[in-house]
Structure 1
Amino acid sequence: MINLKIGGVPEHFNYPWYITLKNKEYTKHNINLRWQDFHGGTGQMCKALREGTVDIAIVLTEGIIKDIAAGNPSKIVQTYVKSPLIWGIHVAAKSSFKSISDLENATNAISRYGSGSHLMAIVNAYNQGWDISNLKFKVVKDLQGGIDALSNGSADYFMWEHFTTKPYVDNGVFRRIDDCPTPWPCFVIAVRDEVLQNNSNDVKNILKVINNITRDFKEINQVDKILAKRYQQKEADIQKWLAITEWNDSEPITTELISEIQNKMKTFNVISKKKDPELFIKNMYI
């Protein structure tokens, strides 16, 4: 049996992986797939892929594209969630900041450089017409770090996935000023090059299993109640999230999509120049 390690954020997007792992779907293909939660998000997972401490990662599209361009020896094998991610823009509940325009010269809490919270802060700044070179960041590692930084005043605002942070808005820790959706499909599945070279068929089998569950995920009996309980969300919020979330269940990632995303990232000054789209992807469906 082949041993492979996979990682992702401990959020509702990745519940399909929990189901397949709980049901031992991968052992049927002679694969011992072990899951690791990454509370630090995409930046932490990119580092783990580089170091070989994880083989497969469910990462934000913008983060892994930037990191592969910077030398991460991995490839995107498939889009995982093809709808945008909705990033909430949060301040402390008692903050004097009332609108996005108030945040132009404020300090932004990010999990780490190269993470989604960092890159989407740049996208948001571009959307607002701010001078990106003047952005100020404080690295806080994870969601709890963002909560602490806004609570103690060491940072002024924090961008994180809308529904994951909704409980903290409801209980008065955060106040959400606005939302900023990603201008591209939000999550992809990335695999280390070494694994693709040595275990290509295993990766294909893993994709078959996960695509089979995401294809009908919304039809699972009482899935909204299950997710609400597991992730401490309100059922109404989970229902809203399910309504706007669309998984990819087999479509290969294309060079055209990578090129389009790079064009936008270059416009946003997230990357300085485009690279050959073939550098980023491995088509597992041929």
Structure 2
Amino acid sequence: MKIRPLLHGALLTASLSSLAVPAAAADTGTVRVVSHEQDTASVAAYWTVSRMASATPERIRSSGKTPDLAGPPAGTPTSKRSGGSKVVGAVFYSNGSGSHYCTGSVIHTAGRNAVLTAGHCLYDANKHRYFSNIAFVPDYNTSHPRPYGVWPVRQMWLDGRWTGHGDPDLDFGFAAVRTVGGRHIENVVGANKFRATQGFHKWVTVIGYPQKRYYPADRPIQCSNYTFKHSTFQQGFDCKGYYDGTSGSPWIMNYNSHTQSGYVIGALGGFQAGGATDWRSYAAVFDNDAATLLTKVN
């Protein structure tokens, strides 16, 4: 699964308990906040090595042609196997029909506990339900599956236009993970920094975990290219190899290979759930709404 504004204004913060009946909304200016929490007691134990290895993306991206895309433009780069990043990892979750994964990344906040991913990796806007057993595993790979541990998500924040309407321009979300061993995740692996309203034609590095059917190494891939404008609230990125599973991959400006981090301006998702082919990906533009959403993470 790699999937605009209807009411540019109302925000929904969400986590995972009392899923059937939302809590009362609290209006804060133009921001409307609803909060739920996930019980994290059994999440880390749920994600055994074998269960992580057998997890799949929820939907498969097509690698073929679409009516509006004849094929990759000349010079489109191909992603390469990445050594991984401590700040990027797999987001594992259950949706009621199996174990699945997306890509996520640590994002800097005062609480030092935040993870960024696609909205559709946290909440199914078609069925109007949150996923369960959500956990983030930094730098995941099958040969060393939990190098920095398993970090259960205790709360998540989404925009109400995503949860209410599946608005692709708001297909991103932030999650707070529980401390592990008394430590905050940002203190253990570092973090990317958030940047909004950066415009288009930006050189970014995108790191993600593609579907194992196409990339059996079960390790992250990495590629760099310029973004382009698809629409007012959607940016695009061309590089081959971004199959399902790469949903939520951070779009990083000024990527520093030493710190394995930089400045994030998007997360793979949005238009066509992130793209209908493996070579063209999309991400919702981070604007002031996204910046406001991030301030709610605690």
TM (norm. structure 1) is 0.27
Asked which structure has the greater CA Rg, the reply is 1
Q: Which has the higher helix share?
A: 1
